[in-house]
Structure 1
Amino acid sequence: MMAKLWILVAVAVFLETVSGASLGVVYTEGGMVEGKNVRLRIGRFMDIFKGVPFAAPPGTFEKPKPHPGWDGVLKTTEYARRCLQVNLIMTETRGSEDCLYLNIWVPQGRSLSSGLPVMVWIFGGGLLVGGSMGANFLDNYLYDGQEIADKGDVIVVTLGYRVGTLGFLSTGEPDLPGNYGLWDQQAAIAWVHRNIRAFGGDPNNITIFGESAGGASVSFQTLTPHNKGLIKRAISQSGVAICPWAVNRNPRKFAEEVAIKVKCPTDDSMAACLKMTDPVDLTMAGTLSLSSSADHPLVFNLLLSAVLDGDFLPDEPHNLFHNAADIDYIAGINDMDGHIFTALDVPSINSPLVNTPVCAVLEDVKRLLGSYTKEKGKAGLDNAYSTYTSTWGSNPSQETIKKTIVEIGTDYIFLIPTQTALYLHASHAITGRTYSYVFSQPNRMAGIGRPYPSWVGADHADDLQYVFGKPFATPLGYWPRHRNVSRYMISYWTNFARTGDPNVGENSVPVNWPEFTDGEKFLEINSKMNKNYVGEKMRLRYVNFWASVFPSLPTVVSE
């Protein structure tokens, strides 16, 4: 009897395994594609398509063009190569010019999914490095969309776009206008809109989301007039279009430096010469300096960025928010987003407290603020210094001073621009809703000695592992509290993608997240969150200084 029972169980499991829904061959505008179907658990499957072309291999310094198509069935089971770029230490290149591909994760039950919300991820990396094509470190693929797709019952798409010189070099003139990487992103979004129905997605419910330079890219994509009607919602994590590093208003200077390195003239024939130069040489010539100090912060070295080209960006970003009036928008930052940058500008903030004289740390505060307020001269520095030291008391601790340095970097590079973008979005909104957050889960490397002191909160990019469900995909590397915060973020993000309201959808959330327009409310996200983690008027004293007091001071040095 027991043997028969085991046979019946085995048959049931077998039938369950083979009878799950699978898309099989999918017809796209370029031709047929076939991915891979994987079984996640009983009754749950995932169709995964890797390396689906969304445009033709791009020409050097040309906008992306439609893919010419292919014959037969294209097997899309392996990631394409990332776009040509320098390695992290900028000594050589990796990747390929032929890189305009995307990846798709489609959750399935026993029957085929249809009408699913679609979430399109834009990776960060300073517009210089990065990719969404396979393992980032050893076998760990940070941007694997499986956990989000499964837990949120949404389709996840990740894409490739040109970075570095090939993606963002510009003369500031029509002969080499720049923004090629942004055009690549836009081509991918448009491809998704045209083709995602065949994969079970709703083309009228597309959410784009990204982090750092990807968050700024998301912001740009909502502001350009070229995406009208394509995007329903958007999430910018630690980056918006009005960040000080997001737009280069004098791109020709760096273009001439690149031209000299590759032996091109810097006269009217420069653009033509650059277009004929080996792409690898162009990429290496676009390396940026990573050396920095409090007197010249790293953020000022990020010269390969978006430009006001009169086409993709027809005006200053702050004048384009009317284009996002009907887009639901979440934007936020990590509470110590600036730590990774200020730690390079002011290395002493990570040194043991007893080893750094207080007077030296105080001088670092003044030097960093002096760099950020240079255009306003002494009045700018004095006002900034009094603002940031107003809560210190007469005898501040080294820890207090070092935290203040991180706060200064976080405010200037991320928080103030993000708050400004939220104000602008809310003030121009017609149907679009606006939500603000700060992510404050402490850094996992803090409190264990080097590299970080125990007081370090959520550093730049710390949110990514939780959004992409790494505590579930690689559970041995995390504690239950990490799974909690990951569950919360995936729930908020996918609810928002489904309904435009992060509180309403298929997943329950721990705290109701009010709209920004309800008294400038924001949600603090971490593993301990409850109703007390809803705040209002984020860092009001500092937002008021940078947004109102500082601009009103007379300019003494042109930027």
Structure 2
Amino acid sequence: MAMLGIMLAAALCLGSASAASLGTVLTEGGLVSGDNYGVSGLFRYMDVFRGIPFAAPPGRFEKPKPHPGWDGILKAKNFSKRCLQVNLLMTDTRGAEDCLYLNVWVPQGLKVVSTNLPVMVYMYGGGFLLGGSSGANFLNNYLYDGEQIANRGRVIVVTPNYRVGTLGFLSTGDDGLPGNYGLWDQHAAIAWVHRNIRAFGGDPDNITVFGESAGAVSVNLQLISPKNKGLIRRGISQSGVALCSWAINRNPREVAELVAAKVGCPTDDKMAACLKMTDPVALTLAGSLNMHGSADAPLVNNLVLSPVIDGDFLPDEPSNLFVNAAEMDYIIGANDMDGHLFAGLDVPSLNQPLQHTPLEDLKTLVAALTKEKGPKGADLAFNEYSHTWGDKPTKEEIKRAVVEVETDYIFLVPTQAALYQHNSVATTGRTYSYLFSQPSRNPLNPSWMGADHAEDLQFVFGKPFTTPLAYWPKHRDVSGYMIAYWTNFAKTGDPNKGESKVPVTWPAFNKETHQYVDINHSMDGNSVKQKMRLRFVNYWTNTYASLPTIYE
């Protein structure tokens, strides 16, 4: 055994001495060098480039411009700063205006560098207010580290920054400040990847854009914008689509005037010029979000610094632009209790195990979410979510209904609408639907909790493999399943076909069978299901939508 260990160590040493590595790469801006290191798996290595500029430092409220380039070799070894944004507590700012950088993970074997690999470009979430290309960091364990996806799926992973908050999405609704600067940043990153990724061993004609929450909405908007024609092959939207109520701000002028008032700018025709000259930190803080939701003022209604229909990047309503994604393959899904994060802020008693949630709180919440349709909309919606109750609903029934209402309204129903929309216009593009239902690992959550908002991210990015002591074997199972489905899809457009074995064949979505796959650690033949929450999808998209609008 000792001799075997010595031989294996010698083999690994020899392997590392001759490990395949890109070394210095020539990009359009100049030469870049990164890091190369061994990863899990025999004779597996990873080239990583952190902080490559994909555009010039952006002008205030301007579209990104090409980077002028650099002399010598750029050492791309550290993540760049986030784009300037408010902190989680909305009390201060972090990041910088000079932030348009991206990171690249390239899997390598022992002797020959990889070529023609599929490319996966990740767009982070954060309500269009927060976020960064490396994600949250704990002891140098970055959430959006692409190593596990790249290594296990043999794909290139790219994570770009984009502007958020006031500097990314403030709009006056006209040519003064047209908005969507964050979307233009994303587009610039995708275009940079298309032009440069071949030098890293990637296939520029096989780019999959994937993202979560606001990043998932961004993916949908990138797929349907005519600006990306020929750049994107596929997309994956996790908990967010362009049809979500919070995806598009239809009254941007009102938000711009509120920000202007906070920073001392006029609200007349001089507003845009004044805002452009205002201190960026003051502008960013002026766009902070009121995080104190309530049953009568739900948090989701505060997400107002978001994309706009600008007549340029988005020339029309998103529902009219899906035809631009007719040839793109698209995975769309949600978490089974995506709304819990919001519901817990709107109705605090929800997460107090010894407290009842008053029935009136549920009724108030429903009325606030259905305000535009008036009392009839509220009554009909409440009847839908209480139709299985007896005369005296239990504490759990009321609390679950609060979560279900917010999950359906904010995420799940728009997701289903987007699936139908894409499938109905698709020519060669395939559509796939999923529900992520791995129970929450948060010990403070109630026993009936499923998967909360953003809980899928740790599994997609392979954290159960990176930090194995923090997870059970079942968590590594579900992480392996998601990475296999996602990377097979990036390779072939079919989540079942590729180098990675999957636990269940995932059928494509169509309007006849309405099939989807339920993703969790115990997947088997029963994981393929039909007609996800059809009663509630029908209610919101047909009955509710057909009611007359009373309040704009």
Query: Do they fold alike, i.e. is TM over 0.5?
Result: yes
Any unmatched runs of 5+ in structure 2? none
Q: 1:325 to 1:134 in 2, by over 3 A?
A: closer
Deviation of 1:71 after TM superposition, in Å, equals 0.7
Matches of 1:263 and 1:401 in 2, distance apart?
A: 45
Q: 1:6 to 1:140 in 2, by over 3 A?
A: closer
1:401 aligns with 398
Task: Give the partner amino acid of 1:465.
Answer: Q
SS of structure 1 residue aligned to 2:481: helix
CA contact (8 A) 1:79 1:134 kept: no
CA contact (8 A) 2:134 2:143 kept: no
2:523 aligns with 529
Deviation of 1:382 after TM superposition, in Å, equals 1.5
Matches of 1:538 and 1:330 in 2, distance apart?
A: 15
SS of structure 2 residue aligned to 1:49: strand
1:430 aligns with 427
- Counterpart selection for 1:477 from 458, 470, 476: 470
Matches of 1:403 and 1:386 in 2, distance apart?
A: 15
1:487 aligns with 480
Q: What aligned pairs does 1:168-183 form with structure 2 within 5 A after superposition? A: 168-183=169-184
Task: Give the partner amino acid of 2:360.
Answer: E
Deviation of 1:311 after TM superposition, in Å, equals 0.2
Deviations 1:352-398 (A, max 9, x none): 24x32xxx621122111111111111211121111111122333211
1:57 aligns with 57
CA contact (8 A) 2:54 2:67 kept: yes
Q: 1:555 to 1:49 in 2, by over 3 A?
A: same
SS of structure 2 residue aligned to 1:217: helix
RMSD: 1.4
1:557 aligns with 551
Matches of 2:493 and 2:426 in 1, distance apart?
A: 14
2:376 aligns with 379
SS of structure 2 residue aligned to 1:216: helix
Matches of 2:119 and 2:81 in 1, distance apart?
A: 23
SS of structure 2 residue aligned to 1:329: strand
Whether 1:14 aligns to 2:13 is: yes
1:32 aligns with 31
Deviation of 1:133 after TM superposition, in Å, equals 3.2
Deviation of 1:543 after TM superposition, in Å, equals 0.4
CA contact (8 A) 1:503 1:512 kept: yes
- Counterpart selection for 1:466 from 459, 464, 480: 459
SS of structure 1 residue aligned to 2:118: strand
Whether 1:418 aligns to 2:415 is: yes
1:89 aligns with 89
Task: Give the partner amino acid of 1:323.
Answer: N
Matches of 2:375 and 2:260 in 1, distance apart?
A: 37
Task: Give the partner amino acid of 2:473.
Answer: P
Deviation of 1:8 after TM superposition, in Å, equals 6.4
Task: Please report the TM-score for the alignment, with normalisation by the length of structure 1.
Answer: 0.96
CA contact (8 A) 2:12 2:43 kept: no
Task: Please report the TM-score for the alignment, with normalisation by the length of structure 2.
Answer: 0.97
CA contact (8 A) 1:81 1:133 kept: no
SS of structure 2 residue aligned to 1:442: coil
Task: Give the partner amino acid of 2:24.
Answer: V
Q: What aligned pairs does 1:71-470 form with structure 2 within 5 A after superposition? A: 71-110=71-110, 111-133=112-134, 135-353=136-354, 355-356=355-356, 361-445=358-442, 448=443, 451-470=444-463
Q: 1:12 to 1:512 in 2, by over 3 A?
A: closer
SS of structure 2 residue aligned to 1:26: strand
CA contact (8 A) 1:122 1:214 kept: yes
SS of structure 2 residue aligned to 1:21: coil
SS of structure 1 residue aligned to 2:32: strand
Task: Give the partner amino acid of 1:512.
Answer: T
- Calculate percent identity across the aligned residue pairs: 66
Matches of 1:140 and 1:17 in 2, distance apart?
A: 23
Matches of 2:58 and 2:265 in 1, distance apart?
A: 22
Q: 1:376 to 1:32 in 2, by over 3 A?
A: same
Q: 1:9 to 1:152 in 2, by over 3 A?
A: closer
Matches of 2:289 and 2:135 in 1, distance apart?
A: 25
Matches of 1:6 and 1:401 in 2, distance apart?
A: 59
Deviation of 1:137 after TM superposition, in Å, equals 3.4
Any unmatched runs of 5+ in structure 1? none
Matches of 2:6 and 2:309 in 1, distance apart?
A: 68
- Counterpart selection for 1:546 from 515, 540, 545: 540
Q: 1:378 to 1:10 in 2, by over 3 A?
A: closer
CA contact (8 A) 2:134 2:145 kept: no
CA contact (8 A) 1:16 1:42 kept: no
